[in-house]
Structure 1
Amino acid sequence: MDNSKGFLGHPKPLLSLSFVELWERFSYYGIRPMLILFMSLAIADGGFGFSPEVASSIYGIFAGSLYLAALPGGYLADKVFGQKNATLIGAIIIAFGNFLLASSCFLGNKVFFVGLLFIVLGTGLFKTCASVMVGMLYPKGDSKRDSGFTIFYMGINIGSFIAPIICGAVKEKYGYHLGFAISGVGMLISTLLYYFHTLPEFKKYANHHKFESGFDTPQGDKRKPILYLSMSLFLIAFISFLAFFEFININPVYIAKNMIIGIIVISILYFLYLYFLAGLSNKDRKKLIIFIMLFIASAFFWSCFEQKPTSFNLFAKHYTNHTILGYEFPIEWFQSINPFTIIIFAPIISYFWIYMARKNREIDSFVKFSLGLILSALAFFIMYLAAKLVISTNSSVSPIYLISCFWVLSIAELCLSPVGLSIMSQIAPSKISSSVMGLWFVSVSLGNVVAGIVGGKVKADNVAQLPDIFMQFIIALIIVASVILISRKWVLKLLKD
């Protein structure tokens, strides 16, 4: 009997890793819906008084940087720290950043942005390693791999579900800063759980199955990565110093727009480095070609999906009725619809994938990926109808539009995001697995920055533009899904060869 098997026959560390990610996501999704609302809140009410464009652009920069940091974070995990230490260090830094947000009411508003910076740096180390560690648990070709990542994703969404409800309720009663503090408590729980439970369990499983990894021991020479790390931290500290003491004036909207170009250039250069200079075999290089196609599709998806905390959040504030039986519930509660749907449907869809495989009618990952894009287009069509109704009636619409949109987006996410992680864990060469996973999260970064720019257009005086904005997303998603479906046979043949 294999005592290393745990939940539903999956490797035992899967459940523990899911709980670690659950509390890390609680931390992030607790602060996420509050950021734009807090920054656009009037100064007299304790906020920054920023316009929707500025607040949304700052959020886009933050969220984009959060995932962009996964690129150097994955590199450092591979070359310097190993997954074990990178995850622990990242968790501690994230927790510190959360408590800086909470303490900004005492230490000044500038500390708030320092807290955001710490969360970015910590997440860069933490984010890739958790997904890589899940991938390590499954041998290549294991039919339970997609199902395992879906279970992992369900754990993430339990944290995402309870965070807006708890933090939003605390914010309504005690203010934004205590809401930020509750998020920090969630990150502390994640850190302690990882150190005292997940680490021993994962090591035991690795020794039992004798698989090789960079979990405990980094791959390669540390000297150059440490030099790069030192130079980068010095540059970040220098720019932060100039901004903190107002020696330079930072325009968030301008930065967000140029950040898109920067992310694209960095992604291309890093891909070329991996392709030509990472010492890969011809077989591994072919896999990277597949990666580029999915990277582009992922960026389109996340630029749409991340409208939830930006344009959809502002749509909820300006154009949606959020009163039930006389009770005006916190706007943040809309953000719990997505994870709640995933909690309910993740095991159902996970079982459906396995059921189809057992019947020899397995739906390949690229069809699942395309289905996610098509469903996202449907979600935006719902918002297109909602915006049209606001224009025609000149009044707020029923919350059923946002609820329906979030539900469809959630099913789309289940078809695309965990499957995308699973594909990456399969095609990523072992010697640069964290680096490839980091580059994958850059596509999420790009989507978040675009979402921040678009989100700022949703304000009380420009509802007439919303139908056109939503229709542009619909057209883009359908085009990208069509390209993947058309090239699917070629990609599967390339992987088989």
Structure 2
Amino acid sequence: MSTPASKHPKGLYFLFLAEMWERFGYYLMIGIFFLYMTDTQSGGMGLPKDQGSDIYGTFIALVFLTPFIGGLLADRLLGYRLSITIGGILMGLGYCGLAIPGDTFFYLSLALIIIGNGFFKANISTLLGNLYSEPQYLPQKDAGYNIFYMGINVGAFICNFVAAYLRNTYGWGFAFLAAGVGMFIGLIIFWAGNKTHRDYDIRKPAQPHDMPLWKVFSIVILPAIIVGILSWVLIPGDVFGSDSTDAFIFGSIPIILFYVSLWARASTEDKKPIAALLSIFAVVVVFWGVFKQNGTALTTWAEYYTDRSLPEPLEKPAASLGMVQSVDPTPSTVPDFDAAFRTRTDAEGKVITKEGVSPYLNNLPREEWPQTGSSLSLISTELFQSINPFFVIILTPLVVSFWGFTRRRGKEPSTPAKMALGLFITGLSTLVMVGAVWVGGNGQDKVSSLWLVGTYFVVTIGELCLSPMGLSLVSKVSPPRLTALMMGGWFIATSIGNKLSGILASLWDTYDDKSYFFWVNFAVTVSAALVLVLMLKWLRRIMEKPAI
């Protein structure tokens, strides 16, 4: 317990560190996941980009779908601390399992991570919200979630440097093992701070009008699994682009209907906040659909189209830190370098990118290739995914201070208004990439890495206006006995958005002009922002708590 004079409860700092290490493991794994699946040069799986994007999108969708189940079990049966512990152990084992070669261990490990995240993710966020249930801490709840969110990104920033060093020096397996070690460190820290948060681990028994736990599993979760399997097996062709996408979308319908039924069966007092949250969940799907392309479309841009060369004085120190990826030409299999591998357009203007050597060599002039027997030292691709968490760490104090400044003057926007602003700013980030496509001649020439830095800078501002605000909003608005369940609903919206990101990214190769890919992302994001703006008055009217 903290003293009344404390600005934040002491448990915040233990949850901060536990989540930091958990996210270290998750983002280390996810930072190299797409690269590992599509790698043909260094012992990866060698999958086509569209198949890798589909698996990536399905995985990150399921990772954020299972918190619905984990939140429900924590609320009604297990409590938060036990659920977090189960989840951490399963995730740690899953990360370590990815180090074992073979498809069987690959998919089994992904299943452990998906289930483990369901027990961990929503419940640690809910436990944090419980720490701020005391009146002296309630005004600092938004700031507390911002601090917590910064902890997530400290882990996400560090992990890619560790991943680059281990996979470049020892191989992919050692990088995945490091993710597992990070997860287990997070669990140790969580239990070291047990006395600061154990009093807030309070199960909330079901009310008479709540659906019993057995009934939720029998008429929601089991049907979702059955519908997903049947959609995969029985539906002829691809309704939504792939078998896995069909299975996910159709399988999600029973869960979505369950949340609608929560609203339909709720008391008059609970109907309004549930309606508000469900409306916001629907809109922010689009944010995640664009934001989560950092692991697919933006990673492809970094791998193929970004100048990742290092000035000669930096090569040795960067190599000693594991930041350098060596690229070797293979002349024996390349009879005509320029004709075979330089990215170019055909007579109709369609971009052609040939495979067979390192992706980086595709649109690099032959005179800049390394000589036979030597290699080209490049910044490892996954390091670009540390740009976003770096900006989160740097910008979080500024954003928190800015909202504090507006609050003191009585002009702080409502939480939904902040989220609408975040959506609009996210849309602007895609326009930066439109500029990158234009400067690079639609993929014919490499462009400066500053274009990726710029788009990550803009999207991070949008993220800070939306993501931590969403977590805080769910914690503040949800009926107390449904908090973890509604937090699971937030992650279901994230899950659907993550799957949307995989669907969008899998279309990358279908766009002859890559700027159209980013224009589509801009259009859907800004449209979602406008929808949320139109709902602001309605949201303020139905949310009874003035702080919202």
TM range (shorter): 0.7 to 0.9
Note the alpha carbon deviations across 1:296-317, whole angstroms, 9 max, x for none: 2210000000010011111111
Deviates more, 1:285-294 or 1:66-75: 285-294
The residue identity in structure 1 corresponding to 2:452 is: L
Q: Which whole-Å CA distance do the structure 2 matches of 1:339 and 1:4 have between them?
A: 32
- Offset at residue 377 of structure 1 (A): 0.8
**CA distance 1:457–1:315, shift in 2 (3 Å):** farther
Note the alpha carbon deviations across 1:327-356, whole angstroms, 9 max, x for none: 411100000000000001111111221222
- Offset at residue 264 of structure 1 (A): 5.2
2:130 corresponds, among 126, 129, 136, to 136
Note the alpha carbon deviations across 1:232-254, whole angstroms, 9 max, x for none: 79x989x99xx9xxxxxx99962
- Offset at residue 259 of structure 1 (A): 4.2
For structure 2, the residue ranges without an aligned partner over 5 or more in a row are: 313-376
Asked if the contact 2:164/2:380 (under 8 Å) is kept, the reply is yes
Note the alpha carbon deviations across 1:446-483, whole angstroms, 9 max, x for none: 11111112223335xx6624211211111111122122
**CA distance 1:201–1:383, shift in 2 (3 Å):** same
- Offset at residue 441 of structure 1 (A): 0.5
Q: Which whole-Å CA distance do the structure 1 matches of 2:447 and 2:533 have between them?
A: 36
1:84 corresponds, among 78, 81, 84, to 81
The residue identity in structure 1 corresponding to 2:380 is: P
1:380 lines up with 2:430 in the alignment: yes
- Offset at residue 30 of structure 1 (A): 0.3
| Total equivalences in the alignment | 470
Higher relative contact order, chain-length normalized (CA < 8 Å, sep 6+): 1
**CA distance 1:100–1:264, shift in 2 (3 Å):** closer
- Offset at residue 256 of structure 1 (A): 3.5
Q: Which whole-Å CA distance do the structure 2 matches of 1:331 and 1:60 have between them?
A: 19
Q: Which whole-Å CA distance do the structure 2 matches of 1:73 and 1:320 have between them?
A: 40
**CA distance 1:71–1:393, shift in 2 (3 Å):** closer
2:118 corresponds, among 118, 121, 124, to 124
Residue matched to 1:14: 12
- Offset at residue 192 of structure 1 (A): 1.0
> Secondary structure at 1:328's aligned position in 2?
strand
User: RMSD in angstroms over aligned alpha carbons?
Assistant: 3.0
Note the alpha carbon deviations across 1:169-192, whole angstroms, 9 max, x for none: 211111111000001000010111
The residue identity in structure 1 corresponding to 2:283 is: A
1:341 corresponds, among 355, 367, 391, to 391
1:294 corresponds, among 280, 284, 305, to 280
2:492 corresponds, among 425, 429, 442, to 442
Asked if the contact 1:101/1:111 (under 8 Å) is kept, the reply is yes
Asked if the contact 2:442/2:513 (under 8 Å) is kept, the reply is no
- Offset at residue 281 of structure 1 (A): 2.0
1:496 lines up with 2:492 in the alignment: no
Note the alpha carbon deviations across 1:7-43, whole angstroms, 9 max, x for none: xx1111111111111111001000102111111122x
Q: How does 1:265-344 map to 2 (within 5 A)?
A: 265-277=253-265, 280-326=266-312, 327-344=377-394
Note the alpha carbon deviations across 1:34-69, whole angstroms, 9 max, x for none: 111111122x74222211011110011110000001
Query: Whose radius of gyration is greater, 1 or 2?
Result: 2
The TM-score with structure 1 as length reference comes to 0.88
> Secondary structure at 1:35's aligned position in 2?
helix
Q: How does 1:64-463 map to 2 (within 5 A)?
A: 64-102=61-99, 104-105=100-101, 108-139=102-133, 142-197=138-193, 199-203=194-198, 206=200, 215-217=201-203, 219-220=205-206, 225=213, 254-259=242-247, 261-262=249-250, 265-277=253-265, 280-326=266-312, 327-391=377-441, 394-458=444-508
- Offset at residue 373 of structure 1 (A): 0.7
> Secondary structure at 1:323's aligned position in 2?
coil
**CA distance 1:445–1:392, shift in 2 (3 Å):** closer
Asked if the contact 1:27/1:186 (under 8 Å) is kept, the reply is yes
Note the alpha carbon deviations across 1:97-122, whole angstroms, 9 max, x for none: 111111x13xx332011101000000
Q: Which whole-Å CA distance do the structure 2 matches of 1:393 and 1:310 have between them?
A: 16
- Offset at residue 261 of structure 1 (A): 2.6
Q: Which whole-Å CA distance do the structure 2 matches of 1:59 and 1:473 have between them?
A: 18
Residue matched to 1:38: 36
Asked if the contact 1:58/1:253 (under 8 Å) is kept, the reply is no
Asked if the contact 1:315/1:458 (under 8 Å) is kept, the reply is no
> Secondary structure at 2:295's aligned position in 1?
coil
Q: Which whole-Å CA distance do the structure 2 matches of 1:223 and 1:391 have between them?
A: 57
Asked if the contact 2:263/2:275 (under 8 Å) is kept, the reply is no
Q: Which whole-Å CA distance do the structure 2 matches of 1:220 and 1:456 have between them?
A: 42
**CA distance 1:438–1:332, shift in 2 (3 Å):** same
Q: Which whole-Å CA distance do the structure 1 matches of 2:472 and 2:60 have between them?
A: 23
- Offset at residue 220 of structure 1 (A): 4.2
Q: Which whole-Å CA distance do the structure 2 matches of 1:183 and 1:31 have between them?
A: 6
Q: Which whole-Å CA distance do the structure 1 matches of 2:261 and 2:134 have between them?
A: 25
Asked if the contact 1:319/1:395 (under 8 Å) is kept, the reply is yes
The residue identity in structure 1 corresponding to 2:21 is: W
**CA distance 1:227–1:114, shift in 2 (3 Å):** farther
Asked if the contact 1:267/1:439 (under 8 Å) is kept, the reply is no
Residue matched to 2:3: 3
- Offset at residue 292 of structure 1 (A): 2.0
Q: Which whole-Å CA distance do the structure 2 matches of 1:134 and 1:10 have between them?
A: 11
> Secondary structure at 2:64's aligned position in 1?
helix
Q: Which whole-Å CA distance do the structure 1 matches of 2:94 and 2:442 have between them?
A: 44
The residue identity in structure 2 corresponding to 1:306 is: K
Deviates more, 1:127-136 or 1:334-343: 127-136
For structure 1, the residue ranges without an aligned partner over 5 or more in a row are: 207-214, 244-249
Note the alpha carbon deviations across 1:340-396, whole angstroms, 9 max, x for none: 000011111112212221222222112211110111111000111212233357111
Asked if the contact 2:92/2:184 (under 8 Å) is kept, the reply is yes
> Secondary structure at 1:333's aligned position in 2?
helix
